[in-house]
Amino acid sequence: MTKVTAQLSVSLDGFYAGPRHDGNGDWITSAESHGFYRVTRWATEAMAWRERQGITGGRRDVNSEIIAESFGAAGAYVMGRRMADGGEVPWGDEPPFRAPVFVVTHRPRERVVRQGGTSFTYVTDGVASAVAQARAAAGGKDVAVAGGGSLVRQVLRAGLLDELELHVAPVVLGTGMRLLDADLGLDEFEAIELTPTRVVPDPQVTHIRYAVTGRAPLTLDSRGR
C-alpha cells in the first residue's frame, strides 16, 4: 500500500537549516547552508548517500542502511520549487532520485527528463494535486516528500502525510528555519498526534519514525483525581 512519507534532518531544537538566505551572495557561504550542512552531516558521510551521488567512499553503517532503505521505498517524490531549483545543477544529468519527481510551484515549466529514471513534472495546482499525481506514478511504492521544510508542513497541514521520520542531530542551532512552526494551521486547542514506530540511535544522529495519527483536540486529563 502506498504511503506518503517525509523525512528531514533537524537539530535538537527543531531547525533543518540556519536563517533563510534570500539576499545577495552564494548560498553556500550563508548561515542557512552552515546550519543545513551541520544537521545533514550524518547523511553525507554514509556510503549509500555517496553512491547515489556518484561519489566514492563513505561509511557502511546503520545510517547508510537507513538511507538505502529510504531510496528503496520511494516510487515517486514530491518536492518544493526552491529545492528543485537549488539542486538542478549539483544533481547533474543523473539525479539521485531515479523516479518521477513532482515539483510544487506557481511558475509553469515543461517536464524535464534526466538520466537514470528521474523526471521533474512541475505542478501548479497545489500540493494535493502533486501528491495525487505522485501516488499514481509510484507503482505501489511510497511517495516521499523530499522537502524542503515548508512543503513538509503543507503536506502535514493538509492531512496527507502518513509517516514522518526525523533524523535528530545532537546540536542546538538556536535559530534558523524550523520544521514545525505556527503555519501548520492549528488552533489553540488542537494538536497533530503522532505515534513513534521506530527509534534508531547512533552517536551522530537519532532516527525517530512516527506514524501520523492526525489532528485531535487538546483535552485535560484528571491528574489522578
Residue 163 contacts residue 209 (beta carbons within 8 Å): yes
- What is the per-residue pLDDT for 200? 98
- For residue 139, is pLDDT > 90? yes
Q: How far is the C-alpha of 167 from the C-alpha of 205, rounded, in Å?
A: 6
38-43: long-range contacts at Cβ-Cβ below 8 A with a sequence spacing of 24 or more? 38/11, 38/169, 38/171, 38/173, 39/9, 39/10, 39/11, 39/15, 39/167, 39/169, 39/171, 39/173, 40/9, 41/169, 41/204, 42/9, 42/167, 42/169, 42/202, 42/204, 42/205, 43/9, 43/67, 43/167
Stretch 142-151: mean pLDDT: 94
Q: Where are the chain's structural domains?
A: 4-217
Stretch 102-118: mean pLDDT: 96
Judged by average pLDDT, the poorest of 26-30, 67-71, 166-170 is: 26-30
Q: How far is the C-alpha of 119 from the C-alpha of 136, rounded, in Å?
A: 14
CA-nearest of 213, 105, 95 to 163 is 213
- What is the per-residue pLDDT for 140? 96
- What is the per-residue pLDDT for 16? 97
Stretch 188-202: mean pLDDT: 97
Superfamily of domain 4-217, CATH level 4: Dihydrofolate Reductase, subunit A (3.40.430.10)
Q: What is the 3-state secondary structure (H, E, C) of the chain?
A: CCCEEEEEEECCCCEEECCCCCCCCCHHHCHHHHHHHHHCHHHHCEHHHHHHCCCCCCECCHHHHHHHHHHHHEEEEEEEHHHHHHHHHHHCCCCCCCCEEEEECCCCCCCEECHHHCEEEEECCCHHHHHHHHHHHCCCCEEEEEECHHHHHHHHHCCCCCEEEEEECCCCCCCCEECCCHHHCCCCCEEEEEEEEEEEECCCCEEEEEEEEEEEECCCCCCCC
pLDDT band at 24 (very low <50, low <70, confident <90, very high): confident
Looking only at the bridges linking them, the beta strands covering 142-147 and 4-10 are: parallel
Look up the pTM and report it: 0.94
More confident residue, 209 or 89: 209
- For residue 225, is pLDDT > 90? no
pLDDT band at 23 (very low <50, low <70, confident <90, very high): confident
Q: What would the grid cell of residue 216 be?
A: 485531535
pLDDT band at 63 (very low <50, low <70, confident <90, very high): very high
pLDDT in tens, 37-50: 999 999 999 999 99
